[in-house]
């Protein structure tokens, strides 16, 4: 079977091995040329200058567990005792301290909702209902006032639950609004198009801080006397408007990437505008814009820290407030590292999830 061996020997031929082993890898990747070698040495030297003192400050000389601030200052390293003392205030803000189990459950509920939503098997209209019920529970447990739970006004909420509520509700409500704005901006109807362009350009052209100020200071001026709208709700509305304007432009980018032929094929089959939009155009457009959309999500999650200017105490503000305790003044590095890690955990999850979602959507389609 001469023919068989011919085919066999062709299929086992592999690319030649040019370098092998750790030494070969080092030579190929770190010391391939003289300037590459020089760069490697310089970077190693810089790392040597930075890493040991950092490790010393963070871990070796750090003061761990309970301890006084005098002990901390004597130790010379990071004062994790400060976090040990203050973490509950930073995470939960001014929520009554005997009731901290309530915001804990609220946080876990929100994280649970996010995990459920991230599973594509659960993507159905029911998910919307799950969210409404879930967020209802979150607000119920935070407000209380029923079943023997004491009522906690939202002026006392703070820290992580506030940050999560502001960003999750803000992004979830803004998203459908943004899709409508993006569709409206491409509408054939001049009035609708003008309204959408006007809204988007107006909101995008103004800093978020000024929108929050407007929501908290100016907006009540337009209300009839005696009518007041809750400060948290006002900030939330400001966020939704701002996020919607930005997301609308991201969605519009996706809509523009859909070839004209897709619209024509849908039209030719007799699909109505909303059938065409919801079944053909949006599924494709939204999967294209996952990376920039997650980019806006991450940036808005962090932008919630701006609510401090209207007197709401989100995670960032509670960390700053914790530093005003005269007994623990000056441990700002520890405080910022602590909340930085919390922010990072959420943002990193979003980023990894978006990467996973992109590959999983593309795998089934093989564009």
Partner 1 sequence: MTAIQTSGDGTTPGPRQLGDEVAIEMIGVHKWFGEFHVLRDINLTVHRGERIVVCGPSGSGKSTLIRCINRLEEHQKGKIIVDGTELTGNLKNIEVVRREVGMVFQHFNLFPHLTVLENCTLAPIWVKKVPKAEAEATAMHYLERVRIPEQAKKYPGQLSGGQQQRVAIARALCMNPKVMLFDEPTSALDPEMVKEVLDTMVSLAETGMTMLVVTHEMGFAKSVADRVIFMDQGEVVEQNEPEEFFSNPRSERTKLFLSQILSH
Told to check if 366 binds partner 1 by CB under 8 A, we report yes
Return the H-helix or E-strand segment holding 314: strand 313-314
Within a 13 Å sphere around the CA of 75, how many CA atoms are in the beta-carbon half? 21
How buried is 237 (Cβ within 10 angstroms: 0-12 exposed, 13-18 middle, 19+ buried)?
middle
Nearer to partner 1 among residue 206 and residue 271 (C-beta): 271
CB 322 within 8 A of CB 346: no
Return the exposure string of 98-121: e unless at least 16 CB atoms fall within 10 Å of the residue's CB, then b: ebeebbbbbbebbeebbeebeeee
Sites for partner 1 among residues 255-284 (CB under 8 A): 259, 261-262, 264-272, 275, 279-280, 283-284
- Of 189 and 327, nearer to partner 1 (C-beta) is 189
Instruction: List the beta bridge partners of residue 314.
Output: 159
Comparing CB distances to partner 1, the nearer of 15 and 270 is 270
Q: How far is the CB of 170 from partner 1 (least distance, A)?
A: 28
Tell whether residue 365 is a contact of partner 1 (CB under 8 A).
Answer: yes
Residue 190 interacts with partner 1 (CB under 8 A): yes or no? no
CB of 281 to partner 1, least distance (A): 10
CB of 258 to partner 1, least distance (A): 10
Q: Which is nearer to partner 1, 154 or 287 (CB)?
A: 287
Residue with Cβ nearer partner 1 (268 or 326): 268
Binding of partner 1 by 287 (CB under 8 A): yes
Is residue 187 near partner 1 by the rule CB under 8 A? Answer: no
Q: How far apart are CA 140 and CA 326, in angstroms?
A: 35
Minimum distance from residue 252 beta carbon to partner 1 (Å): 19
- The sign of the torsion formed by the CA atoms of 50, 56, 59, 65 equals negative
Residues 6+ apart with CB under 8 A from 267: 276
Structure-block tokens of residue 21 = 């082993």
Could you identify the residue written with the tokens 């085919």?
Answer: 7
Residue closer to partner 1 (CB basis): 34 or 274: 274
> Can you tell me whether residue 325 is helix, strand or coil?
coil
Q: One symbol per residue from 222 to 261: x for binding partner 1 (CB under 8 A), - otherwise; what is it?
A: -------------------------------------x-x
Contact of 297 with 291, CB cutoff 8 Å: no
Q: How far is the CB of 357 from partner 1 (least distance, A)?
A: 14
The radius of gyration of the chain's CA atoms, rounded to the nearest angstrom, is 27
The mark string for 328-357 relative to partner 1 (x by CB under 8 A, - otherwise) is ------------------------------
- Site membership for partner 1, residue 125 (CB under 8 A): no
Alpha helices in 18-57 (DSSP H): 21-29, 34-55
160 or 285: CB nearest partner 1? 285
Binding residues vs partner 1 (CB under 8 A): 259, 261-262, 264-272, 275, 279-280, 283-284, 287, 364-367
């Amino acid at each position: 079977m001469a023919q068989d061996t011919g085919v066999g020997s062709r299929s086992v031929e592999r690319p030649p091995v040019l370098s092998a082993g750790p030494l070969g890898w080092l030579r190929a990747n770190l010391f391939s040329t003289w300037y590459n070698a020089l760069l490697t040495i310089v970077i190693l030297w810089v790392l040597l200058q930075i890493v040991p003192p950092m490790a010393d400050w963070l871990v070796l000389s750090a003061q761990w567990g309970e301890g006084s601030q005098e002990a901390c200052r004597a130790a010379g390293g990071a004062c994790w005792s400060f976090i040990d003392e203050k973490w509950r205030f930073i995470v939960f803000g001014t929520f009554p301290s005997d009731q901290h189990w309530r915001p804990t459950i609220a946080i876990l509920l929100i994280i649970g909702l996010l995990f459920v939503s991230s599973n594509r098997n659960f993507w159905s209209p029911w998910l919307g209902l799950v969210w409404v019920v879930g967020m209802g529970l979150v607000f119920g447990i935070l407000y209380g006032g029923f079943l023997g739970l004491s009522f906690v006004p939202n002026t006392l909420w703070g820290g992580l639950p506030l940050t999560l509520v502001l960003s999750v509700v803000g992004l979830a409500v803004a998203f459908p609004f943004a899709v409508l704005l993006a569709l409206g901006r491409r509408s054939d109807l001049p009035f609708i198009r003008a309204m959408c362009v006007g809204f988007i350009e107006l909101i995008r052209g103004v800093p978020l801080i000024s929108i929050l100020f407007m929501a908290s200071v100016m907006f009540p001026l337009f209300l009839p006397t005696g009518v007041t709208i809750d400060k948290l709700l006002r900030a939330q509305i400001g966020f939704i408007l701002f996020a919607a304007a930005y997301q609308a432009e991201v969605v519009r980018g996706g809509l523009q990437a859909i070839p004209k032929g897709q619209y024509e094929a849908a039209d030719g089959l007799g699909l109505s505008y909303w059938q065409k939009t919801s079944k053909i155009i949006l599924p494709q457009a939204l999967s294209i814009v996952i990376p920039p959309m997650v980019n806006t999500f991450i940036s808005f999650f962090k932008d919630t820290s701006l609510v401090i200017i209207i007197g709401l105490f989100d995670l960032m503000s509670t960390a700053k407030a914790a530093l005003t305790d005269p007994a623990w003044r000056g441990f700002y590095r520890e405080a910022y590292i602590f909340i930085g890690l919390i922010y990072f955990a959420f943002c990193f999850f979003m980023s990894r999830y978006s990467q996973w979602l992109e590959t999983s959507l593309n795998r089934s389609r093989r564009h």
